[in-house]
């Protein structure tokens, strides 16, 4: 029987238990260590995984040469320091999104991972979602014509954080999907927001991102909404797509709808003004439901074992942080248009 890869998990808060389960359930890995500052969290780990070594000092993981990789599932402000130390200790590194709080920090980690020849992967989970990948294939084949604009909504009543604002908490998901789906270059961003509950911590934000080929993306983020909404609308020149992440049975719907300029205007009335609106059927594809987090973790392990560059590598993480940083700059400067 093959020897399992030893993994260290740093952070056992919101996402930690999910990663612990995946590490433990995998036929290729074992949860050798778990580090957390809270004793109550470590007690839970020990109760569920008796063979796992628990510690409040994550350096114990780095000092063990038998541990090949670490998963960093801690607050954003700690990502850079822990990941840098992990890479310096020759560990492969997975970091929950975002990779870091600044572009400069991301650059340091990317350079260090390359120097050490270690895998550096970021937890942009939606890129491992079967529905998101299905949409990617549809867009690549231009099944909805040319993309015109995209509209993202990520709203709910909480959970309200105190370490980051709603932009840095939620927008990574939508920005990562946007950059995955749209191949052209983003050229400008603009954001407007308000802080209703905590001073200088935006809990409602609307953001716009424009691309070099004219594609426009709008993102609405809120911790202060009565219902949970996780939706994306993609408008193409011939068809339109709706992705509802909360609809587990039919997350994707393709609408045979469009609006286009009539090329031949003979006999067209003034009221129609050379614009034709088309409404056809709705197609709901059957998409096999897989756990995105499990797909993401399996990809991380595969990248280590086969020396493959991850789909969501350090450079991908840097791209997302770069957009977030520019949007934050816009927020901090009275919704100024920031050119990229």
State the residue range of the domain holding 207. 133-289+323-339
**pLDDT attached to residue 18:** 97
Residues 103 and 220 placed together within one structural domain of the fold:
no
Are 201 and 160 part of one and the same domain?
yes
How confident is the model at residue 155, as a pLDDT?
97
Residue 103 parent element (H or E): helix 103-116
Domain of 285: which CATH number? 3.30.360.10
Same domain, 87 and 104: yes
127, two tokens? 């890129």
231 & 187 share domain: yes
**Number of structural domains in the chain:** 2
C-alpha 127/C-alpha 293 separation (Å) is 10
Distance CA 286, CA 134 (A): 10
Strand partners, 145: 143
Say if residue 209 is in the same domain as residue 86. Answer: no
- What is the mean predicted confidence (pLDDT) over 251-269? 78
Tell me which H or E stretch contains 79.
Answer: helix 76-88
Question: Is there a single domain that holds both residue 297 and residue 284?
Answer: no
Q: Are residues 155 and 202 in the same domain?
A: yes
Q: For residue 306, what is the domain's CATH number?
A: 3.40.50.720
Per-residue pLDDT of 11-25, as tens digits, reads 999 899 999 999 999
**pLDDT reading at 276 higher than 90:** no
230 and 110 in a single domain? The answer is no
Residue 245 CA to residue 140 CA, distance in Å, equals 21
Q: Name the pTM for this structure.
A: 0.93
Q: Which residue has the tokens 């840097």?
A: 318
Say whether both 26 and 80 belong to one domain. yes
Q: Do 144 and 251 have their domain in common?
A: yes
Same domain assignment for residues 69 and 162? no
Q: Say if residues 59 and 82 touch (Cβ distance below 8 Å).
A: no
CA distance 280 to 255: 7
Shared-domain flag, residues 108 and 176: no
Q: Determine the longest span between alpha carbons in the chain, in angstroms.
A: 79
């Amino acid at each position: 029987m093959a020897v399992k890869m030893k993994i260290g998990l740093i952070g056992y808060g919101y996402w930690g238990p999910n990663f612990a389960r995946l590490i433990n359930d995998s036929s290729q890995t074992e949860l050798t260590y778990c580090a957390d500052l809270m004793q109550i969290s470590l007690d839970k780990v020990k109760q569920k995984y008796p063979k796992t070594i628990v510690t409040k000092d994550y350096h114990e993981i780095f000092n063990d040469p038998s541990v090949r990789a670490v998963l960093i599932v801690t607050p954003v402000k700690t990502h850079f320091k822990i990941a840098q130390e992990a890479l310096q200790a020759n560990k492969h590194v997975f970091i929950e999104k975002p990779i870091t709080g600044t572009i400069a920090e991301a650059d340091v980690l990317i350079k260090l991972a390359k120097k050490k020849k270690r895998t550096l992967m970021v937890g942009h989970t939606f890129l491992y979602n079967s529905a998101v990948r299905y949409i990617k294939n549809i867009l690549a084949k231009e099944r909805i014509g040319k993309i015109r604009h995209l509209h993202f909504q990520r709203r709910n009543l909480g959970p309200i954080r105190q370490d980051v604002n709603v932009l840095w908490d939620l927008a990574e998901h939508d920005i990562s999907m946007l950059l995955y789906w749209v191949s052209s270059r983003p050229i400008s961003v603009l954001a407007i927001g308000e802080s209703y509950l905590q001073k200088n911590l935006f809990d409602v934000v609307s953001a716009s991102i424009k691309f070099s080929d004219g594609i426009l993306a709008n993102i609405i983020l809120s911790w202060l909404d009565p219902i949970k909404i996780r939706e994306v609308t993609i408008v193409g020149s011939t068809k339109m797509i709706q992705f509802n992440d909360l609809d587990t049975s039919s997350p994707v719907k393709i609408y045979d709808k469009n609006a286009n300029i009539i090329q031949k205007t003979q006999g067209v009335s003034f009221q129609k003004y050379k614009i034709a609106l088309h409404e056809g059927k709705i197609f709901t594809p059957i998409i096999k439901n897989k756990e995105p987090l499990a797909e993401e973790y399996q990809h991380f392990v595969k990248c280590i074992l086969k020396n493959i560059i991850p789909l969501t590598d350090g450079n991908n993480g840097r791209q997302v942080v770069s957009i977030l940083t520019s949007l934050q700059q816009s927020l901090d400067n009275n919704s100024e248009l920031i050119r990229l």
